[in-house]
Chain A
Amino acid sequence: MTSPQPVHGHPATGQVLDLVLRVADHQVVGPEGLLLGNVDNLVLREHEGRLLVTGFVSGPGGLGPRLPGSLGRWVQAVWRRLRSDADSQPTVVPLSAVARIGSAVEVTRHGQQVLASGMGLEHWLRTYVVSRIPGAKGGEDRLEGEPVQDAAQHVWSPGPGSHLLSDLLGARVRSAQGEDLGAVLDVCAEAVAPTGAAVGVLRVRGLSYGPRATGSELGYTEDPRQGPLVLRVLFRRLHRAHRYVPLEAVDVDWQARVVTVAPSARPVHPHQR
């Protein structure tokens, strides 16, 4: 077996995380360093007036909603057709099964098993293609094949109070007067319930939004010191109208994908939050 993949970066507990920059689209790594997928989407849940990040989705079911228009629908449709059950929903890994969030998202053994149960393509290719080639090895043990007992718990179901991060990203942001302020670009969250070795649930604190999406995931809007100088200046100028606003000061209409900023709110540039 390989030695554990070195994962550097910050521990997540008690710290503020920009979900798009620091969590979404990151590599998911198992306890032994196996590469298990990408964080394709995050699951948000409304709970007692708070918005919590409870888990992440990996695979086409989570990626589809983040791809543009018909390409995204097509990816989801193909993925659904290939699933055995007719109306399947993407598998969710709870954040209680996430050990660390660094340059990769490290999951626990439980998280690895949940993810393995969703890897249809890998298992199909393993069984019907690669294992038939002479010299194939490494599949003798059943490390990943272990199905999860309570599979139903790990499925995302759309419903009142249950959302995906992609529902919020790109949503239009309006002032109380109806003026268009741009689109939601990033969501800021903090760890509230770290349990032992796990990251646990995150609470959403606020949103970043702005009229220009180009380069908003590069990190210049979050870190005022990131170089090189030319790019720092360029993106600071490009993103000068970007604003951060606490979640309490906005009203989210999930159906219409519109976020309204309260008149009393004092949005600041993300550098000044």
Chain B
Amino acid sequence: MKKLFALALGILTAIGGFVDIGDLVTNALVGSRFGLSLVWVVAVGVLGICVFAEMSGRVAAVSGRATFDLVRERLGPRLGLANLLASMAVTALTLTAEIGGVALALELATSVNPYLWIPVVGAAVWLVLWRVRFAVLENAFGLAGLALVVFAVAVWQMGPDWSALWNDATHPSVPGNESLPTYLYYAVALFGAAMTPYEVFFFSSGGVEEHWTADSLRTMRANVFVGFPLGGLLSVSIAVATALVFLPEGIQVGTLGQVALPVVLELGKIGLALALLGFFAATFGAACETGLSVGYSIAQYFGWQWGKYVPPLRAARFHTVVLLSCIAGVALLLTTVDPVQVTEYSVVFSAIALPLTYFPILVVANDRTYMGRHANGRLANTLGTVYLVVVIVASVAALPLMLVTKAGQ
């Protein structure tokens, strides 16, 4: 019974923890501009993050080594360092976007200027990372993130023509008023939002923190293969909601307030409250995950003691890095950049940086010296190779598409 409860809890937190500011903004934006014609990308991205997370979780469980540990080991100090800098820049950008997202969610609840919230949020994120236990952090925000299910409820209430929706999603085409490069640019953005590198840093490092062993593989796979696709459905429901309400009106989503509007129109104040709770939990949880991930990646590259399973004084360098990254995120936001725009860039840069960590994990998951009988089988390698190609194509295409479309305008 207890085991079943733990399994259910793991899956529920995986669902609620799947969505972050990148998923919220990108799905809403794409839904309002492209309808359901890009839903296939979410499906591709979700399967991709399942493949990636399963491999890195398995490597973490069997070898006890987290992602950046292996990046350094397999790429050497030089290429590993370049990789570290790129991945850290992207993760720090994501952290910035998440802190901004929390501030925007609080603004929607209180109408207090987000720039007043930003320092408070930064301090709160750091305090949680400093004081709160890992399991509490993961479960609390994961469960509260389930409130985003209101988007699915709102779509249900709207009573759309389901067969037409299905037809739109399964027969994708570029909408008449959008160009092909813009369509592809948002495809890359949506892919980057679903397959954000920090998710895997956090997942594998969390596995090491929780002392996974080969016996934990079944639970880990259940979380990944049930939790992530259901989390992906939450993302899709956001896109469907904005597509139904905004596409006919010609509204393009550019703020978090607009993301919530379909739910408000359909479900009223209770819907609004749940949507805001979901926004808050999703972004705050992700801010904690990205903050930790910055610390994880630097500490793992240099071999420093990291993690929340040792007392803070034992991991002084790790906690200093986490503190500095929270300060840096807040400082960047206080230059009055628009958090939504930071989010839009962060998902594209995520797609660009993805091969840097995907490739070493794919290689190590095949190393029989470490992995023994848990090395990649035929299915894992087929999917792993297909996604290696997908990830590289998305990464290479991202910058040219950004140039051509002026970042999707």
Contacts and interface: CB of A to CB of B under 8 A. Distances in A.
Chains A and B directly touch (beta carbon < 8 Å): yes
Interface residues on B, range: 35 or more
Contact of B302 (A26, A38, A129, A144): A38
B305 A130 contact: no
Contacts of A121: 317
Contacts of B317: 121-122, 125
Contacts of A126: 313, 316
Contact of A40 (B77, B369, B372): B77
B65 interface: yes
Contact of A10 (B81, B311, B316, B369): B369
B311 A138 contact: yes
B309 interface: yes
Contacts of A178: none
B131 A135 contact: yes
Interface string B366-399: 1111101001100001101100100000000000
Nearest to B374: A8
A2 B131 contact: no
Contact of A228 (B309, B320, B366): B366
Given A66-B78, A67-B81, A135-B130, A7 B64 contact: yes
A66 B382 CA distance: 35
A104 B310 contact: no
Interface string B64-90: 110001001111111011000000000
A230 B385 contact: yes
Contacts of B133: none
A103 B305 contact: no
B306 interface: yes
Contacts of A137: 311-313
Interface stretch (A82-90, A154-162, A192-200, A215-223): A215-223
B81 to A, nearest CB: 7
B64 A5 contact: yes
A120 to B, nearest CB: 11
A138 B366 contact: no
A103 B60 CA distance: 11
B303 A227 contact: no
B77 A130 contact: no
B369 A34 contact: no
B385 to A, nearest CB: 5
B258 interface: no
A78 interface: no
A256 interface: no
Given A9-B369, A104-B64, A138 B74 contact: no
Chain A interface, >50% SS class: loop
B320 A217 contact: no
A141 to B, nearest CB: 10
B16 to A, nearest CB: 27
Interface string A205-242: 00000000000011100010111111100000000000
Contacts of B313: 126, 130-131, 136-139
Given A67-B77, A125-B317, A227 B213 contact: no
B243 interface: no
Contacts of B139: none
Interface string A1-37: 0110111111000000000101001111000001111
Nearest to A128: B316
A2 B309 contact: yes
B314 interface: yes
B319 A130 contact: yes
A35 B312 contact: no
A8 B376 contact: no
Contacts of B385: 228-231
Interface in B39-68: 62-65
Contacts of A135: 130-131, 312
Nearest to A28: B303
Nearest to A127: B316
A250 to B, nearest CB: 23
Interface string B114-156: 0000000000000000110000000000000000000000000
Which of A35, A133, A138 is most buried by chain B, counting CB atoms within 10 A of its CB? A35
Interface string A34-46: 1111111000000
A68 interface: yes
A8 B63 contact: yes
A195 B309 CA distance: 33
A130 B316 contact: yes
B362 interface: yes
B269 interface: no
Given A3-B211, A130-B316, A226-B368, A217 B302 contact: no
13 contacts: A9-B370, A37-B303, A58-B303, A103-B370, A122-B316, A126-B316, A129-B316, A138-B310, A138-B312, A139-B314, A218-B360, A228-B376, A229-B385
Given A8-B64, A37-B303, A125-B316, 20 more contacts: A3-B211, A5-B64, A8-B62, A22-B369, A25-B80, A34-B305, A103-B370, A122-B316, A129-B316, A130-B312, A133-B130, A139-B314, A218-B363, A219-B367, A223-B369, A226-B366, A227-B376, A227-B381, A228-B384, A229-B385
